[in-house]
Structure 1
Amino acid sequence: MSETMALVTPEPKRPRLSVEAERRSRPAGSGGRAVGRTILYAVLIVAAAAMLTPFFWMVMSSLKDANSVFSVPVRWIPEIFVWENYVEIWTRSDILTWIRNTLILSVTVTALQVLTGSFAAYGFSRITFPGRNALFLLYVATIAVPWQSYMIPQFILLSNAGVANTLWSIILLQAFGAFGVFLMKQFYETVPEDLSEAARLDGLSEYGIWWRIMLPLSVPAIASLSLLTFVNTWNDYLGPLIYLRDPELWTMQLGLKNFVSSLYDTDYGVLFAGLVISVVPIAVIFLLGQRFFVEGIATSGMKG
């Protein structure tokens, strides 16, 4: 009987800690970390708002009439939404040709830079040859050389080759990039060398290792390089300005610039509608690939 009572006897309730006791039981510094985190979030929110404000103003300006775009004080929300601006930019300009040319250049240059950059990066990271480190350092150092310092001899060279005033001139200019080689090399160095050694023992050539092992493993780095290259090519203005003189070859940047006839004779509402159209593809691509972009940038800065 006593054993049965001992089994059913409830355990004594533990006394609840007071508020002051609970506060003492918390780890030291937790309150300070919470305050720091709150301040960090507030700073990030303010920074995000500051970066998104120009984009918001551009979108709202594309829905205003020409006289309301630069009104004082600034009207953030238009009184009347002029949706006709997006119709007029399609009817009054050759924007479809501009988008087509820009898309051709961006996709082609991105594919070539990923191909050439990853291939060269594999040679610098996995193949040993005399002067490898010095050659890589010299190649990467070209990033610091401004394009304006050699664009004239480059223009003469491409003109003599007969590719000036063609899309091939921009493609050849940007098909190779030292930054892409550097980014891919840093990622390849995080891949264990044991994978390459095992593939060599199985009879796979260096080309096969690069194509069948390294490329599939480097999807985050490829996504980062693709996104950066696509955005730079899409937004490029100086290169097309120098080489593309035929209106049928104009890109978005050249087309929108030539759409502005003069400071006082420009329908800025229609112009901002064209700017919004030019930004949308980049925004969509970045939103779709931001996870791979962040992962690729983070892992490319690490060494295994």
Structure 2
Amino acid sequence: MSVVTQSRPARTAGGRASQARPRRRVSAGRVGRVLALLLLAVMVLFPVYYTVVGSVMGPGDIASSPPSLIPHVLTFDNYRGVFHAIPLGRQYFNSTLVAVTITVAQVVCAVLSAYAFVFLAMPFRRAFFALFMLTLMVPWEAIIIPNYLFMAEHQLRNNYLALMLPFLAGGFGTFLLRQSFRSFPVELRDAATLDGAGHARFLLQILLPLSRPALASVAIFVFLSAWNQFFWPLLVTDSPKMQTLQIGLSSLNDAEQANPGLILAGVTMALIPTALLVALGQRFLVRGLTAGAVR
């Protein structure tokens, strides 16, 4: 004779029955994916970690074999040495000024051109947009010599204009913002028109506030590209006071005064703005790059 027992639901302190939640089974495939992602994260973050940690190591820790991953003695002599080796403050200012100016100019140009391609009725609109896209297909190496000859002919070398002028407009921002503007609800545009809003009011008060993720994505992408430029600033500047931070860091690798600690300290300082920008704008990057993907 078998007795079938039914398990009663457990009761909470208030007297209400609570049902036990089913436990999720952890599959081997899920564990493998997590371990693979952790391994990739370690591979990506390890150079950043060693750069920051190595910047506060002494010469003995950096030159040890096998290399030390944890500093035995913290020292900030490398940071003080960078300021004595190169005009770091001036070069930091040059990089910031150039990157911010290029970012603002490209965002303004991208906003105006993308608005024209989406909301203005004009002939040959698709043809003009195709010309914008063709600028993305022209390799930089094909136009660097004409740009340099132009700067040299007009005596713009060792000048802020030489560092910024070729990059004040670009096609990528126009493409990304056009895709974002095309997903804008037509009803809001018609309502703004009926309310008497002109192009300027609609753009500044309605469209741009609702397009902040796309604007942030364009700004972050342009800033990182401008901040990390190396070959063009090296070509158009030869004065240390007009060079950017990337050129100054490369000079630390001189054979006569090569010091890994100084190089790591300089690279760490160059990483600070980009790391903060990506960390603070990560959510805007994801939302901005997917804007306009689904209409």
TM normalised by structure 1 equals 0.84
Instruction: Name the CA distance, whole Å, in 2 between partners of 1:116 and 1:48.
Output: 36
The answer to whether residue 254 in structure 2 is matched with residue 274 in structure 1 is no
Residue 186 (structure 1) aligns with? 179
Unmatched runs of 5 consecutive residues or more in structure 2 = 9-21
The answer to whether residue 246 in structure 2 is matched with residue 253 in structure 1 is yes
Query: Is the Cα contact below 8 Å between 2:118 and 2:181 reproduced in 1?
Result: yes
Query: Is the Cα contact below 8 Å between 1:189 and 1:303 reproduced in 2?
Result: no
Map of 1:26-105 to 2, 5 A cutoff? Answer: 31=25, 34-66=27-59, 68-105=61-98
Structure 1 range deviating more: 231-240 or 78-87: 78-87
Task: Tell me the CA shift for residue 188 of structure 1.
Answer: 0.7
Task: Tell me the CA shift for residue 218 of structure 1.
Answer: 0.7
| Secondary structure in structure 2 of the residue aligned to 1:118 | helix
Residue 167 (structure 2) aligns with? 174
Query: 1:157-207, CA deviations, whole angstroms, 9 ceiling, x for partnerless residues?
Result: 233344332111222111101111111111111111222222222232223
Residue 20 (structure 1) aligns with? none
Q: Which amino acid aligns with 1:236?
A: Q
Residue 285 (structure 1) aligns with? 277
Query: Is the Cα contact below 8 Å between 1:119 and 1:210 reproduced in 2?
Result: no
Residue 197 (structure 2) aligns with? 204
Task: Tell me the CA shift for residue 31 of structure 1.
Answer: 4.8
| Secondary structure in structure 1 of the residue aligned to 2:203 | helix
Residue 114 (structure 1) aligns with? 107
Query: Is the Cα contact below 8 Å between 2:107 and 2:219 reproduced in 1?
Result: yes
Instruction: Name the CA distance, whole Å, in 2 between partners of 1:60 and 1:165.
Output: 35
Task: Tell me the CA shift for residue 68 of structure 1.
Answer: 4.1
Instruction: Name the CA distance, whole Å, in 2 between partners of 1:126 and 1:35.
Output: 52
Query: 1:35-77, CA deviations, whole angstroms, 9 ceiling, x for partnerless residues?
Result: 4443332222111111001111112221223454354322212
Instruction: Name the CA distance, whole Å, in 1 between partners of 2:150 and 2:196.
Output: 43
| Secondary structure in structure 1 of the residue aligned to 2:281 | helix
Unmatched runs of 5 consecutive residues or more in structure 1 = 1-13, 18-25
Q: 1:161 to 1:303 in 2, by over 3 A?
A: farther
Instruction: Name the CA distance, whole Å, in 2 between partners of 1:293 and 1:87.
Output: 35
Q: 1:290 to 1:73 in 2, by over 3 A?
A: same
Q: Number of matched residues? A: 279
The answer to whether residue 290 in structure 2 is matched with residue 298 in structure 1 is yes
Map of 1:217-232 to 2, 5 A cutoff? Answer: 217-232=210-225
Residue 15 (structure 1) aligns with? 6
Structure having the higher Rg:
1
1:130 maps to which of 123, 127, 141: 123
Query: 1:93-140, CA deviations, whole angstroms, 9 ceiling, x for partnerless residues?
Result: 211011111111111111111111111111112223222112212211
Structure 1 range deviating more: 285-294 or 95-104: 285-294
Q: Which amino acid aligns with 1:94?
A: P
Instruction: Name the CA distance, whole Å, in 2 between partners of 1:249 and 1:269.
Output: 25
Q: Which amino acid aligns with 2:233?
A: P
Query: Identity of aligned pairs, percent?
Result: 29
| Secondary structure in structure 1 of the residue aligned to 2:62 | coil
Instruction: Name the CA distance, whole Å, in 1 between partners of 2:174 and 2:56.
Output: 43
Map of 1:229-248 to 2, 5 A cutoff? Answer: 229-248=222-241
Task: Tell me the CA shift for residue 151 of structure 1.
Answer: 0.7
Cα RMSD for the two superposed structures: 2.3
Query: Is the Cα contact below 8 Å between 2:52 and 2:265 reproduced in 1?
Result: yes
Task: Tell me the CA shift for residue 293 of structure 1.
Answer: 1.6
Query: 1:199-230, CA deviations, whole angstroms, 9 ceiling, x for partnerless residues?
Result: 22223222332222211111001111111111
Instruction: Name the CA distance, whole Å, in 1 between partners of 2:160 and 2:115.
Output: 29
